[in-house]
Amino acid sequence: MKDGKIYFLMVLTALFWAGAFIAAKLSSPYIPAFTLTFLRFLIATLVLYVVILIKEKSLYKLKKKDIPVFLFTGIVGMVGYHIFFFTSVKYTTAINSSIIGASNPIITTILCFLFLREKISFKRFIGIIISFTGVFLTITNGDLSSLGNINLNKGDLIMLLAVLCWASYAVYSKKVMPLYSPIVLTFYSFLFCTLFLVPFVIYENPISSLSNVPYYAYAAVVYMSIFASVIGYFVQQMAIKQIGPSKTSIFINLVPVFSIILSVIILKETVTIMKIFAAGLIIIGVYICQKSN
């Protein structure tokens, strides 16, 4: 697959992930965090299993040596990121969590430098900084006075753990990618995530309240399962294999751009000139990073 095609697919994935934030807002008030994550990846695992049977005709047989690999990708990448993220927003502001979340490409690049010995070119560094600036302007609407309201609290630390989980998952996936196809790595990561969550779902005991969940919350879970999980993670794994985790992670900065658009269309929110300018910065940053060597 040519790089141009994988870039397009990652942009589409960023759109799906942006939609997942809106879907999460529709479902999280009614479904507890562990149960929500479990349902999302249970459906995703089943759908991906059917896709594998159609595409590959048979499923890769798990070996003993594979278990530590998928325990890491499933628990750290899937469970860790989602649970830490949903927990963090209970203790910190949207500004704090968004800024810390936007640091993912920087943390990913640093981890690649430390563990994969990838070089950080000056051009790529500039692209990351420009994109991060765009994300910052997006979430603050250019109000620099909001900096004074940022205090490192428990929620901020939890969000840092979420970002570290996501970056670690991306870097580790790059390391083990020669051993597995993207679809196999994605499927078993989903499966191990789902199985790991079972005791936590039992503890939450959601059965009594699920009957009161509105239909659109269930529809949101299905959307997150198929588009944000099956398609999104599969494309991400292909991108990590082809262009590396550092370049792949920069596309996450497109998520707030699409979030603005979806918020206007679906939630009827207003968009400002500052947010349009910030979106332009993010796109420029992504372009610079993809052109760097």
**Domain extent at residue 272:** 3-56+66-291
For the entire predicted model, the pTM comes to 0.77
Q: Say if 161 falls within a structural domain.
A: yes
150 pLDDT tier (thresholds 50, 70, 90): low
Q: Say if 61 falls within a structural domain.
A: no
153 pLDDT tier (thresholds 50, 70, 90): low
Whole-number percent of the chain with pLDDT over 70? 89
- Convert the pLDDT of each residue in 65-97 to its tens digit: 999 999 999 999 999 998 888 777 677 655 567
Q: Say if 167 falls within a structural domain.
A: yes
Q: Say if 267 falls within a structural domain.
A: yes
Of the candidates 31, 34, 29, the one whose C-alpha atom is nearest the C-alpha of residue 199 is 34
Q: Say if 38 falls within a structural domain.
A: yes
Q: Say if 209 falls within a structural domain.
A: yes
Q: Say if 154 falls within a structural domain.
A: yes
The total number of structural domains in the chain stands at 1
46 pLDDT tier (thresholds 50, 70, 90): very high
- Convert the pLDDT of each residue in 16-45 to its tens digit: 988 887 888 788 778 888 998 899 899 999
147 pLDDT tier (thresholds 50, 70, 90): low
pLDDT for 228: 87
Answer yes or no: is pLDDT of 168 > 80.
yes
pLDDT for 95: 55
CB under 8 Å to 139, separation ≥6 — which residues? 94, 95, 98, 99, 102, 256
Higher pLDDT, 212 or 193: 193
